[in-house]
Chains A and B, each alone.
Chain A
Amino acid sequence: MATASSLRAAVPATAPCAGLRSTSAASSVRVAPAARGGRGRLVAKADAPSSATASKSDGHELLLFEALREALIEEMKLDPTVCVFGEDVGHYGGSYKVTKGLADMFGDLRVLDTPIAENSFTGMGVGAGMKGLRPVVEGMNMGFLLLAYNQISNNCGMLHYTSGGQFKIPLVIRGPGGVGRQLGAEHSQRLESYFQSIPGLQMVACSTPYNAKGLMKAAIRSENPVVLFEHVLLYNLKEKIPDEEYVLCLEEAEMVRPGEHVTILTYSRMRYHVMQAAKTLVNKGYDPEVIDIRSLKPFDLHTIGNSIKKTHRVLIVEECMRTGGIGASLRSAIIDNFWDYLDAPIMCLSSQDVPTPYASTLEDATVVQPAQIVAAVEQICQ
């Protein structure tokens, strides 16, 4: 099977490339030549703590949306077939500023303002992917992509299979989702539960500036269609990330806090509720192991399994609704694979099966709160 680097052999390995239709001389991303083994090969170890990997230089601080933007800029400079489709991504700069400045840098043919037509512009992204481009399709809010569900499911996910392997769809579908601050039911969707059974799709969720940049780069380089879930409330998280180029592995989970007593599996915004609960738990004498699963499809059963073999207790904390959520699938996968290692039933804390209400108190009651996480751990560890 061809390796990732040979699949992209036509793309020059150094940046910026001659012949790119870049319209401005944006500063090039410094790439330490020794660290590069070819495209897609530079992978940071997943079990390193998320903030500050060992880096040669000091690194630079930025916000999560800026990290996503950096990733986009780097990849668009490296590969002229990468383009961005979305509403208000170009001249407006993106509703969450992820694409700010890109239209000036790369021109209107690479950063495309679409009309409000998710079904068709997602379909166009798939068609462009079939013909050799690498579109990044943005849903202004993940929930709007429900309008493109047919394109995502039948065409994006399945064309590689139904064509007997002739076409690849190296699409990235990204956008903010999740419960925000009183955005209302229709703008607080968690689509990972709807997309998870589409065969052929890959799903990842970012949660820190470091993994946002790494996962965005990996998603763009992947030959499979990848859905990258961002969260509305995490865009302004600040973190110092390395100056050198790095790409994360799409299928790997992230060890946030090693521990001994219980494995807490979470992703996206709930990671922060879990870490908040962890402080309380530590004070109470517990030692939770917190893993940000990051890869929602497929699950990183290797990392998860190693953890369960150590702690024998599992708590899943997710923002999906309880019915048909990621937690439900993860629970099944753990039971199938690690039943013998469990000393207690798997607990799963999810959002309520209700449309997200507007009132702030009700909205808070919809999602999992740190106090509930603490109570759950106490129950499991009895």
Chain B
Amino acid sequence: MAAAALLRRIPAARAPATAFMAARPISDSTAALTIETSVPFTSHLVDPPSRDVTTTPAELMTFFRDMSLMRRMEIAADSLYKAKLIRGFCHLYDGQEAVAVGMEAAITRGDSIITAYRDHCIYLARGGDLVSAFSELMGREAGCSRGKGGSMHFYKKDANFYGGHGIVGAQVPLGCGLAFAQKYKKEDTATFALYGDGAANQGQLFEALNISALWKLPAILVCENNHYGMGTAEWRAAKSPAYYKRGDYVPGLKVDGMDVLAVKQACRFAKEHAVANGPIVLEMDTYRYHGHSMSDPGSTYRTRDEISGVRQERDPIERIRKLILAHDLATAAELKDMEKEIRKQVDDAIAKAKESSMPDTSELFTNVYKKGFGVESFGPDRKELRATLP
């Protein structure tokens, strides 16, 4: 096909392993490619963006790689949890990768993202590395929060990733506060405050949205609607499950959250809108394959047919794989190789993370206060653990 030929360019350097095999290499072209989203956008109080999304072969390859990495990380976390190396709560994101990757593609590191506890993949998308992620999950000192936060408390300040929050909905007012600071400092950036369909019923969201609309803050409220608030389906929890309309006087957009290109388009649109006009609500129609957390099998409130149905029809990685193959940007074998390489990358990271030690007991007392006063803190018996809060 002429179009495909145009897209292919021989890159300067090629990995030696595939050089002799490939008849033509994996495309890293940056020539523009326009692809239609799966479904048109539905909107509330605003004209929706176009269904045609501009991307490049290189970007599509990045999407595939990033989402596959996230998928692999979450599955590995599942195994680690069952092996009791990760304890407590562990909320996995597999199925929802397109939201993390699409959002990141539309914005800069100057924009801020804040989310709830299903935060591992957003951390990766913001530039977090696998070793610090796995270390944090296992409570080791090499973790991104020094082992003191755990699964629900991943943060990356230098990438404007504000976590990582355990209490449902509480991160949304924080996100509006981030947006306030962006406006205060005249930064021309926006904040994406993510929450779930369960959190959408929290009063503090409406409070924060009201204030954001009044003060015209660059806040984008993103509802990752995976249709279940833990074990309760959305139709049993929300009188109006049209979450993108919940903003009432605030415009909203409903997006197919399993289509990374639709997510990218919507986020780019939302950022432009928010910086100019104030808040906007995005509803990402997405799905999680795992249960709410590792303590929830995820099958008591939904059928296995439903889960496998979504996996077959709407899986975000498969969608990109089909696009890549259809546009002849790589072969199926090359994509499989990439997945193998990713698997090894994740396994290596886990091995490295396991080498990291548990935090020293003195870490119990650090970071309680930013500026300490040398006050004493004790263990329960007042004798054994006696330290001064630094």
A163 in contact with B145 (CB, 8 Å):
yes
A165 in contact with B177 (CB, 8 Å):
no
| A230 part of interface (Cβ distance < 8 Å) | no
Of the listed stretches A12-20, A67-75, A114-122, chain B binds A114-122
User: Which chain A residue has the least Cβ–Cβ distance from B205?
Assistant: A120
Chain A residues with CB below 8 A from B174, complex form: 123-124, 126-127, 130, 151, 155
- Indicate with 1 or 0, residue by residue over A96-134, a CB within 8 angstroms of chain B CB atoms: 000000000000010010110101111111111111110
Chain A residues with CB below 8 A from B145, complex form: 162-164, 166
- Indicate with 1 or 0, residue by residue over B167-196, a CB within 8 angstroms of chain A CB atoms: 100101111111111111100000000000
| B204 part of interface (Cβ distance < 8 Å) | yes
Within the complex, the shortest CB–CB distance from A102 to chain B, in Å, comes to: 16
A127 in contact with B173 (CB, 8 Å):
yes
User: Which chain B residue has the least Cβ–Cβ distance from A153?
Assistant: B167
Q: A127-B177, A128-B177 are in contact. Are A164 and B367 (CB under 8 A)?
A: yes
- Indicate with 1 or 0, residue by residue over A177-191, a CB within 8 angstroms of chain B CB atoms: 000000000000000
User: Which chain B residue has the least Cβ–Cβ distance from A299?
Assistant: B375
- Indicate with 1 or 0, residue by residue over A121-154, a CB within 8 angstroms of chain B CB atoms: 1111111111111000000000000000011001
Q: A83-B184, A200-B368, A336-B382 are in contact. Are A165 and B146 (CB under 8 A)?
A: yes
Partner of B178, one of A1, A7, A128, A170: A128
| A279 part of interface (Cβ distance < 8 Å) | no
Chain B residues with CB below 8 A from A200, complex form: 368-369
Partner of A224, one of B170, B210, B215, B370: B370
| B239 part of interface (Cβ distance < 8 Å) | no
Within the complex, the shortest CB–CB distance from A42 to chain B, in Å, comes to: 17
A112 in contact with B367 (CB, 8 Å):
no
A127 in contact with B180 (CB, 8 Å):
yes
Partner of A119, one of B156, B163, B203, B368: B203
A163 in contact with B155 (CB, 8 Å):
yes
B208 in contact with A161 (CB, 8 Å):
no
B369 in contact with A121 (CB, 8 Å):
no
A1 in contact with B390 (CB, 8 Å):
yes
| B49 part of interface (Cβ distance < 8 Å) | no
A167 in contact with B155 (CB, 8 Å):
yes
Chain B residues with CB below 8 A from A165, complex form: 146, 366-367
| A322 part of interface (Cβ distance < 8 Å) | no
| A50 part of interface (Cβ distance < 8 Å) | no
| B153 part of interface (Cβ distance < 8 Å) | yes
A117 in contact with B368 (CB, 8 Å):
no
Partner of A120, one of B149, B176, B390: B176
A115 in contact with B177 (CB, 8 Å):
no
Chain A residues with CB below 8 A from B203, complex form: 119
**A168→B155 CA distance, assembly (Å):** 13
Additional A-B contacts beyond A7-B371, A132-B185, A199-B368 (11; CB < 8 A): A109-B183, A121-B207, A123-B170, A123-B208, A127-B114, A127-B176, A130-B178, A131-B112, A154-B165, A154-B166, A167-B162
Show 25 A/B contacts (Cβ-Cβ < 8 Å), sorted by A. Answer: A115-B214, A117-B204, A120-B208, A122-B173, A123-B173, A123-B174, A123-B208, A124-B173, A128-B184, A129-B177, A130-B162, A133-B181, A150-B170, A154-B166, A154-B170, A159-B163, A160-B367, A161-B367, A164-B146, A165-B146, A166-B155, A167-B157, A200-B368, A223-B370, A336-B382
